Chain A
Amino acid sequence: MIRLFREEGSSLFVLAIESSCDETAVAIYQGELINGRGRIVAERVASQIATHAPFGGVVPEIASREHLAALPPMVDALLGEADLAWQGLDAIAVTAGPGLMGALLVGVSYAKAAGMAHGIPVIPVHHMEGHLLAPGITGDLPAFPFITLLVSGGHTMLVRVDGIGQYHVIGQTLDDAAGECFDKSARLLGLAYPGGPEISRLAAFGDAARFDLPRPMLNKDNLNFSFSGLKTAVMYTVRNAGNLTKDMRCDLAASIEIAVVDVLVKKSLCACHQENVTHLVVAGGVAANRHLRRQLEGEAAGREITVHLPDLRYCTDNAAMIAYAAFQYCWSDIHGPVDWDANPRWRLVDINKS
């Protein structure tokens, strides 16, 4: 049980561990019990992108090995940086899912053991929930309800957030995630992994009007996405082009980016309209895409929708968002499951039932 003293000046220190995919991340958040706000005291992220790049994607076994080698010294260094001892921590938050099972187990096993040894409660956090609430880390969460567009290498979904722990998926991809579409298209263009940032880099020099790529599901009367058809269209375009010149590569990258962004923006605004909600949060790795950020802000302005974009560093996987989500649970007096384990397929709708 977490000690709750709602007096002025009293705060909770939450250590968070995130190891669900290819970033080992740790953070300490100091949350004020008087107002539910706080600050990140210290944080570290060790990215494995370079390790996985030669394989063109994340290799689960390699990711798990790297997490285990990186995590324990990272936590020690973090506590040192924050000048905190274990006794000074009030809770340990850990990503319990969804993600790669072997990778999750490293963080979860470590967190459970550390919690046991130091008598500190351990709070399992849903990875997506961390992303959903990420704008609150450095600012204020928008008033409930709000819509979050969660868009990353593994996920593309629209979620209606009615409160802490109250999430309704109102649209999602039927096949590939948007980030996955970027990664796969980048590979077709002969670009390095991960593909999103590479496509963006080339797109800045390209003419987006040169290739007419499909905008899948845009005319469908629902909030779902589909990106595998777009990827196939890119494949045929590359095949028909024969030898891709540098200009063609840039033009195609720009065309891909604008096709994906168009769909994401239109569906997100449509979701706000349909749900009668005026706040839109964008989270996940693809939320770092500058074109997406610009277009969303531009189109939302005319519709009296406020767009909330987390700091760029909190768009990709990080532990600050896990710490913040756990603190919000503590502060709202919501208790998570007692008997739990790493759950690679933990669904957002099952968040209070795991």
Chain B
Amino acid sequence: MTSSQQPPPRNILALDTAHSLVAACLLTGSDVYHAGAGAEKPRSISLASTLTSLLEKAGLQWHDLDAFAFGCGPGSFTGLRIGAATLAGLNSGLNRPMLHISSLAITAAQADTSDAITVIEDARAGEAFIACHQAGKALRPDRCLPWQEVAAMPSAAYASHTEPAIDLPAWQRLPLQLSRDQALARTVGHAAGQITDWQALPRYPQPAYLQPSQAERNAHV
């Protein structure tokens, strides 16, 4: 396999917009730069300046990037699409590998613990996005569950951006120790280390919605 003999990418630009904040980072092999933007401006506006500031800090041009990493969700549908469309636009003409990172894995990394942790993020429509992680590894695939099923899960330590929609009495909520852009850098660094064949990665970012639209849901009732 010639493709697996390619050197691993040096410069990786990563972006996560699954929540109301923009989290971005740039890994250059020797350095890690990160940047975040708050909710004062719409994501679609703050993104450009956030990403260009990262490149400026690292002294790089767009064509110096060797790969992209996309916080692919699950999360805000619109947020995911703004992130994905932006990365697709940046990658137009560059055609670099697109590493897909679970946005729930980033939340798990924010809790900064080596113990097993469940991530519970509100998915609206009476549902929650659920992930289980330990030491940077997903213990099972991300899921979308009704809150009743979450309540029936064995209690554990969990991390979340919002108050859960139901009472989780025996559960222990861990604080988010790391900023999202710091956690993004850590998650991307970890995931990048696991990739053996970068050329096999997709070129176009694809959100993991894990939830159909309301119209599709109604049609199936």
- Chain A residues engaging chain B, CB cutoff 8 angstroms: 54-55, 59, 61-62, 64-65, 68-69, 71-73, 75-76, 85-86, 101-102, 105-118, 341-342
- Total contacting residues, chain B, CB less than 8 A: 32
Among B62, B91, B207, the residue within 8 A (CB) of A68 is: B207
CB-based contact B215/A112 at 8 Å:
no
Taking A73-B204, A118-B92 as given, write out 7 further A-B residue pairs in contact, using a Cβ cutoff of 8 Å, ordered by the A residue number: A59-B215, A59-B216, A110-B88, A112-B89, A113-B92, A117-B89, A341-B44
Contact B88 A113 (CB under 8 A): yes
Would you list 12 pairs from A and B whose C-beta atoms are within 8 A, ordered by A residue?
A54-B219, A65-B77, A71-B85, A72-B91, A76-B92, A85-B93, A86-B92, A105-B81, A110-B92, A112-B44, A113-B88, A114-B93
Contact B89 A55 (CB under 8 A): no
- A116/B94 contact (C-beta < 8 A), A59-B215, A64-B77, A109-B86 known: no
Given contacts A86-B92, A341-B45, contact A110 B215 (CB under 8 A): no
Give Cα A85–Cα B94 distance, bound, in whole angstroms.
11
The A/B interface has a contact count, at CB < 8 Å, of 104
User: In the assembly, what is the distance between CA of A24 and CA of B107, in Å?
Assistant: 33
For residue B69, give the distance in angstroms from its CB to the closest CB of chain A.
15
Would you call A61 and B88 a contact (CB within 8 A)? no
Nearest neighbor of A59 in chain B, beta-carbon distance: B215
In the complex, whether B4 has a CB less than 8 A from a CB of chain A is no
Report B-chain residues with C-beta under 8 Å of the C-beta of A85.
93
List the interface of chain B (C-beta within 8 A of A): 42, 44-45, 47-48, 51-52, 62, 77-78, 81-82, 84-94, 204, 206-207, 209, 213-216, 219
Q: Which of A55, A76, A113 contacts B85 (CB 8 A)?
A: A113
- Tell which of A69, A101, A109 touches B89, judged by Cβ atoms closer than 8 Å: A109
- Contact check, B47 vs A109: say whether CB atoms are below 8 A apart: yes
For B44, give its contact among A64, A109, A116 (CB under 8 Å): A109
How many Å lie between the Cα of A327 and that of B10 in the bound state?
Answer: 39
B89 cross-chain contacts in A, Cβ below 8 A? 72, 109-117
Give the shortest distance, in Å, between A154 (CB) and chain B (any CB).
18
For the complex, what is the distance from the CA of A226 to the CA of B87, rounded to whole Å?
44
Distance in angstroms between the alpha carbons of A75 and B62 in the assembled complex: 19
Contact (A68, B84) CB under 8 Å given A73-B204, A341-B45 = yes
Q: Check if A72 sits within 8 Å of B44, measured CB to CB.
A: no
CB-CB under 8 A for A72 and B77, given A55-B219, A109-B47: no
Residues of A within 8 A of B82 (CB): 105, 109
**Chain A residues with CB below 8 A from B48, complex form:** 112-113, 116
Choose among B91, B92, B209 the residue with the greatest number of A CB atoms under 10 Å from its CB: B92
Q: Across the interface, do B213 and A61 meet the contact criterion of CB distance under 8 Å?
A: yes
Contacts of B213 in A (CB 8 A): 59, 61-62, 65
Please provide the 9 A-B residue pairs with the shortest distance between their CB atoms, ordered closest to farther.
Answer: A113-B89, A61-B213, A109-B85, A114-B89, A72-B88, A110-B89, A59-B215, A86-B93, A110-B85
Inside 8 A of A114's CB, which chain B residues have their CB? 89-90, 92-93
Chain B residue at smallest Cβ distance from A54: B219
Per the bound structure, the CA–CA distance linking A114 and B94 in Å amounts to: 10
- Contacts A109-B47, A111-B89 hold; do A117 and B94 have CB atoms under 8 A apart? yes
Contact B87 A113 (CB under 8 A): yes
Most buried by A among B51, B204, B206: B204
Report the Cα distance A118→B209, complex, angstroms: 30
Contact indicator B52/A65 (Cβ below 8 Å): no
Q: List the B side residues contacting A116 at CB < 8 Å.
A: 48, 51-52, 62, 89-90
**Which residues does chain A contribute within 8 Å of B88, judged by CB atoms?**
68, 71-72, 110, 113
A117 contacts B207, CB within 8 Å? no
